[in-house]
Amino acid sequence: METARVGVLFLVAPLVTLLLMDVSNAQIPGFVSLDCGGSENFTDDLGLRWSPDSDMMSGTVANISVANETSKQYSTLRYFPADNNKYCYTLGVISRTQYLIRASFLYGNFDSNNVYPKFDISLGPTHWATIVVSDANTVEMQELIFLATDPYISVCLSNATTGQPFISTLELRQLNGSLYLNQYENQFFLSVSARINFGSASDAPVRYPDDPFDRIWQSDSLRKANYLVDVAPGTEKISTNMPIDVSRDEMPPQKVMQTAVVGRNGSLTYRLNLDGFPGFGWAFSYFAEIENLTSHDSRKFRLILPDHNDLSKAVVNIQENAPGKYRLYEPGYYNITMPFVLSFKFEKTTDSTAGPLLNALEINKYLKKSDGSADGPLLAAVTSAYSTARWAKEGGDPCLPAPWSWVQCSSDLQPRITNINLSGKNLTGAIPVEFTKLGGLVELWLDNNSLSGSIPDFSGCPNLRIIHLENNHLTGDLPSSLANLQNLRELYIQNNLLSGKIPAGLIRKDLLLNYTGNGGLHKGNKGKNLGLIIGLPIGAAVILIAIIAAILLMPKGKKKFHKKEGKPPHRLPSLSDTAAEAAHCFALSEIEEATKNFEKKIGSGGFGVVYYGMLKDGTEIAVKILTNDSFQGKREFSNEVSLLSRIHHRNLVQFLGYCQEDGKNILVYEFMHNGTLKEHLYGPIARGRRLTWIQRLEIAGDAARGIEYLHTGCVPSVIHRDVKTSNILLDKNMRAKVSDFGLSKLSVDGASHVSSIVRGTVGYLDPEYYISQQLTDKSDVYSFGVILLELISGQEAISNENFGSNCRNIVQWSKLHIESGDIQGIIDPALRGYDIQSMWKIAEKALLCVQPHGIMRPSISEVLKEIQDAIAIEKGADALRDGSSDEISRHSAHSSINLGSLDLTPGDNYLSIDDSIAGPAAR
C-alpha cells in the first residue's frame, strides 16, 4: 500500500516519505514506550510510538480484553513467576539528565484467577511502589521523576505477595529543563502523587502532544473515589482561548493553563488523597490570570493548610508576579510535609475583589534512593564481561530488592554479597578478579566451568568459608595466601590442571580439601587427607540452635500466665441490693403465657435463647432465657439486670424486667420488629431489600448514640464489650438500638480501664484489649469501626474467602484498600446512589477506629459527629440529585432513599438526626 501511494504521488515522494517517517517510524526523541507483551511496533492515536518488549524480557505474555480500556498497548501484558527473583527491564538513559518514568498495570484477570496481584516495583535498588491491584479492569499507574546517574536504569518487579507480578506498559520521557531540579535530587526521586488540571471541561487527561514531555494532567472533573472532594460552593470553571506563555522549562502545557477554577464566594477548597504520603514532598501550584479583571479589580488570596499556619502568611498575587495577562506564575514548596489526606483551601484576602483562582497543581513525594549493594559495581564488571549469558542479564542491583538468582546477600541496609553460585555456567577465561574483592564473600561456587588461568589471591575475602573450583581448566600453583583464610573450611579444586606443592598451611585438620585429579599437584609427603573438618562447624551450629531454642521457648511476659493478684475482683452489684428494687419482676407463669410456652424462638446467642412473646396488654416482648448451668451465666445475669434497670436511652434496647424462678434466669426486653443489623446486611432479608447508604448511616448514627450514652451518660460509665452487627437491633421504623449488655461491666470509677477475662466476638475484638486485657471504652470504638467497615462493604467481619488468599479479616482488607486510596474496591456493590464524600468520611473514621492502639482511636462521640456530617452530605447530595443537577449525580447515579420499600414510616422520628445528641439521658 505504501508503495502504491508513493508511486501515485511520485512528484512529492520525498515529502511523503518524510511524513511517513515522522508518524510511523521515528521515535520521539527522549521517549521510550514499551508495550509489554506486545508483538509489533505501532503508533497510537496520540502519536506515541510503542515497541514490544519481547527481545529484552523473559516472562510470559498474556492477552487480555477489558471493555473500557481498548488501547492496543493494554491488550497484552507480561507476567512473571511469583518466586524470590526479580524481573528487570534495563533501559538506556543519558547520565545527569532528568527523566519521567511511568509504569502501568492492567490486570484484566489474565490468569483467570481473580486473585488480585500485589507485588513490588523498584527502580534500581530503590523500592518504588507496591502495586496493589484492586480492580481487574482499571489501569494502575506509577510515575517517578529522577535524575539519571548511570547510562542505564533498571525497573524490576519482585516480591509477589498475591498473584503473579505483571506489567502492561513502561514509558520513559526525557525532561529538559529545570522545573524539577532540586537540591535533593542526588538522594531522592520524586514520586508523582497528583498532577491536576483544574477547570477542565472533560474527564480526559491532557498529555502528549499537548504536553511535550507527556506528563498526564488529570482533570479535576474526574471525581474518582479519592480525588478532589469537598469542593466549596461557588466554585466555577473558567477557560480562555488566548495563548498563554508556557515556554519556560517544563511548565504545564498551554491547554492546562487555559482552564481554571475560581471561587466566586471567596474560597476554593479541595480534598484529595496523596498516594505515598504522609512524607516530605515537592508541591507547586500554577496560576495564570485568564479572566478579564478591570483596573479596579484585584485577585489576592492565601493558601490555608491544616498544620501549616506559617504558609498562610504569603499572599498569592498573580498580577504582581506575572504582570500582564496570560502569563504564568508558579509558586511552590521544594520541601513540605504533606498528609495522606490533603485538605487545602485558597481564600481571598479581605481587600481582594475577586475570589481565588487555580489552574493547575502538582505534588510529588520525595522517595529516598537506596544506595544499593556495596558490591554492585564489582558485579557489574563481571556481568558485563558475560553480557550474552542469561545469568548476567538479570538486571538491577545484585541484592536489592531481591538478589540475583546466583547470588546471596547479607541483610544489612547496604547489603554485601555473601554467596556466589556460578556452577556449570560455561564460564571461560580467568576467574574474575572482582570476586577477590568481595569483602563479605563466604561461599564461592565456580565448579564445572571452563575457567582457565591460575587461582587468584583471595586475601580480600577474609570471610571465605567455602571455595568450589573443581572441574575447570585451572593451571599453576595453589597460592599460599589461601592458607591465610582463617575461616576456610572447604576447598574443592579436583579435576583441574593445577601443579606444584600444596602450601603447608592448607594441610589442616579442619579443612575439607579435595585436590584429586590434578596431575601435578602434590602434598609433598604424598597421602590423602579428606573430610576432617565437619565436627567443628556442626558443633558450633548445635550450640547456636540450642541457644535460639532456649530463647524461643522461654516464656515471654510472665504476666500472661499469672492472674493479677493485686487487684481484688471487680465487685458486681448483686440482685438483692441494687437491681431487684429497680427492675420489674415477672412471674414465670406470666412469661410462659406471653410466649405461649416458649413457642417461637427468634434468636440465640450470647448466653441464651430468645423467644417472642406478647403480654396481656399487647406489649410485644423478647424473652431471653439464660443458659444457667454455668456460674458465669448467673453472674452475667445479675450483672445485666442491675445494669439494665438503670440504663435508659432511645438507642438502647429497653429492658422491661426479669424473672428468676424455677432455676431459670430470664430477661425481658422490648421486641424489635426488624431484627438485627446482621440479618439486614447478610441474611435472606438482605438479598431482597438492601439497606441504602443513608439507611446504613442512620443506623450507624443510632448505634453510636447508644454507645455514646453508655460511655458518657452513665455513672460509672459502661463498656459494652460486645459491639457487633448482631447486637444492633432495628425497630419498626428501622431505628437502631444497641442490645445485649450481657458482657457489659461497670467500669471502675475514675480508672481508665478495667481488667477482666477477655470476652467478645472474633472479628470485633480489640487487639490491644486482647493482648493487654486492659479494657477501655476504646475497645468498643474498635468494634464499632469494624461495623462501619461492614456497612461500607457489605462484607462480614471475618471471612475465609472474600478478602483474598492471605487475609481473613475485614480490617486488614479494608486498610489495604483505603490506605492505597482505593475506596471503590471495598464499597458494597449493592450500594447505589451514595455520595463518595460521605463514604470517604466514614471510611477514614472507620480506619481510625481500628487503629491498633486505643489511644489513637477517636471517641465514639467524634465518630458520631462524622456520621452526622456524612448524613448531612447525603441529604445535600440527595437534594441535588432530586434537583437533577448533573454535575454530582453523574458520579453517584440513582436517587433518593426508597423508604417505602422497607415499610418504614418516614415520620419525624425517623428523619430527625440531631434531636438526641444534646443530652444522652433520653427516653
What is the spatial distance between Cα 328 and Cα 260, in angstroms, rounded to a whole number? 12
Interface positions, 836-875, toward ligand NAG (CB under 6 A): none
| Grid cell listed for 26 | 521515528
Residue with grid cell 576432617, as numbered in its chain: 532
Helix ranges (DSSP H) in 660-761: 677-682, 684-688, 693-708
Beta carbon nearer to ligand NAG, 391 or 910: 391
Q: Per CB under 6 A, which region of 42-50, 248-256, 422-430, 749-757 contacts ligand NAG?
A: 422-430
User: Does residue 425 belong to the site contacting ligand NAG (CB under 6 A)?
Assistant: yes
Helix ranges (DSSP H) in 295-424: 318-321, 376-385
User: Shortest Cβ distance from residue 334 to ligand NAG (Å)?
Assistant: 8
User: Shortest Cβ distance from residue 276 to ligand NAG (Å)?
Assistant: 13
User: Shortest Cβ distance from residue 868 to ligand NAG (Å)?
Assistant: 38
Q: Which of 711, 796, 795, 721 is nearest to 755 (CA)?
A: 721
What is the spatial distance between Cα 548 and Cα 298, in angstroms, rounded to a whole number? 73
Contact pick of 42, 280, 333, 682 for ligand NAG (by CB under 6 A): 280
Q: Per CB under 6 A, which region of 4-12, 421-429, 676-684, 732-740 contacts ligand NAG?
A: 421-429
Amino acid, res. 330:
E
Residue 743: count other Cβ atoms within 10 Å of its Cβ: 20
β-pairing, 473-476 vs 450-453, is parallel
DSSP 479: P
In DSSP terms, 271 is beta-bridged to 229, 343
User: Shortest Cβ distance from residue 278 to ligand NAG (Å)?
Assistant: 12
Q: Which of 56, 37, 33 is nearest to 393 (CA)?
A: 56
Check if 249 is active-site: no
Catalytic residue, candidates 120, 214, 220, 722: 722
| Grid cell listed for 704 | 453510636
Burial class, 787, CB count within 10 angstroms (exposed 0-12 / middle 13-18 / buried 19+): buried
Residues 177, 341: contact at Cβ < 8 Å?
Answer: no
Closest CB to ligand NAG: residue number: 280
Beta carbon nearer to ligand NAG, 89 or 366: 366
**774 φ, ψ (degrees, to nearest 5):** -100, 110
Beta carbon nearer to ligand NAG, 312 or 426: 426
User: Shortest Cβ distance from residue 188 to ligand NAG (Å)?
Assistant: 5
Beta carbon nearer to ligand NAG, 337 or 589: 337
User: Does residue 184 belong to the site contacting ligand NAG (CB under 6 A)?
Assistant: yes
Q: Which of 838, 727, 849 is nearest to 785 (CA)?
A: 849
User: Shortest Cβ distance from residue 184 to ligand NAG (Å)?
Assistant: 4
- Tell me, residue by residue from 380 to 419, as one string, x for binding to ligand NAG by CB under 6 A and - for no binding: ----------------------------------------
What is the spatial distance between Cα 634 and Cα 84, in angstroms, rounded to a whole number? 56
User: Shortest Cβ distance from residue 282 to ligand NAG (Å)?
Assistant: 8
Whether the ω angle into residue 209 lies within 30 degrees of 0, i.e. cis, is: yes
Residues 470, 493: contact at Cβ < 8 Å?
Answer: yes
User: Shortest Cβ distance from residue 813 to ligand NAG (Å)?
Assistant: 32
Q: For residues 417-448, b (16+ Cβ closer than 10 Å) or e, as one string? A: bbbbbbeebebeeebbebbbebebbbbbbbbb
Beta carbon nearer to ligand NAG, 191 or 258: 191
In DSSP terms, 32 is beta-bridged to 172
- What are the Cα distances from residue 794, in Å, to 204, 371, 681, 733, 901? 32, 45, 6, 21, 19
Beta carbon nearer to ligand NAG, 181 or 538: 181
Contact pick of 39, 58, 63, 335 for ligand NAG (by CB under 6 A): 335
Interface positions, 290-319, toward ligand NAG (CB under 6 A): none
User: Shortest Cβ distance from residue 384 to ligand NAG (Å)?
Assistant: 18
Beta carbon nearer to ligand NAG, 128 or 188: 188
DSSP 483: G
Beta carbon nearer to ligand NAG, 280 or 284: 280
User: Shortest Cβ distance from residue 57 to ligand NAG (Å)?
Assistant: 19
**419 φ, ψ (degrees, to nearest 5):** -130, 140
User: Shortest Cβ distance from residue 158 to ligand NAG (Å)?
Assistant: 24
User: Shortest Cβ distance from residue 425 to ligand NAG (Å)?
Assistant: 6
SS3 18: helix
Beta carbon nearer to ligand NAG, 31 or 184: 184
Using CB under 6 A, count the residues that bind ligand NAG: 8
Residues 377, 401: contact at Cβ < 8 Å?
Answer: no
Residues 453, 435: contact at Cβ < 8 Å?
Answer: no
Total residues found in the chain within this entry: 923
Beta carbon nearer to ligand NAG, 187 or 806: 187
What is the spatial distance between Cα 381 and Cα 434, in angstroms, rounded to a whole number? 8
Beta carbon nearer to ligand NAG, 264 or 425: 425
Beta carbon nearer to ligand NAG, 391 or 682: 391
Interface positions, 490-549, toward ligand NAG (CB under 6 A): none
User: Shortest Cβ distance from residue 305 to ligand NAG (Å)?
Assistant: 16
What is the spatial distance between Cα 435 and Cα 456, in angstroms, rounded to a whole number? 9
Instruction: Give the DSSP letter string of 558-578.
Output: GGGGS---SSPPPPPPPIIII
Q: Per CB under 6 A, which region of 74-82, 128-136, 420-428, 647-655 contacts ligand NAG?
A: 420-428
Residues 60, 111: contact at Cβ < 8 Å?
Answer: no
What is the spatial distance between Cα 138 and Cα 105, in angstroms, rounded to a whole number? 8
What is the spatial distance between Cα 772 and Cα 560, in angstroms, rounded to a whole number? 9
Residues 190, 366: contact at Cβ < 8 Å?
Answer: yes
What is the spatial distance between Cα 292 and Cα 274, in angstroms, rounded to a whole number? 34
**182 φ, ψ (degrees, to nearest 5):** -155, 165
Beta carbon nearer to ligand NAG, 344 or 366: 366
In DSSP terms, 280 is beta-bridged to 337
Q: With left for phi above 0 and alpha for psi between -120 and 50, is residue 86 left, alpha or beta?
A: beta
Interface positions, 346-385, toward ligand NAG (CB under 6 A): 366
**Cα-Cα-Cα-Cα dihedral sign, residues 67, 73, 76, 79:** negative
User: Does residue 146 belong to the site contacting ligand NAG (CB under 6 A)?
Assistant: no
Supply the residues annotated as catalytic.
722
Site of interaction with ligand NAG (CB under 6 A): 184, 188, 280, 335, 366, 424-426
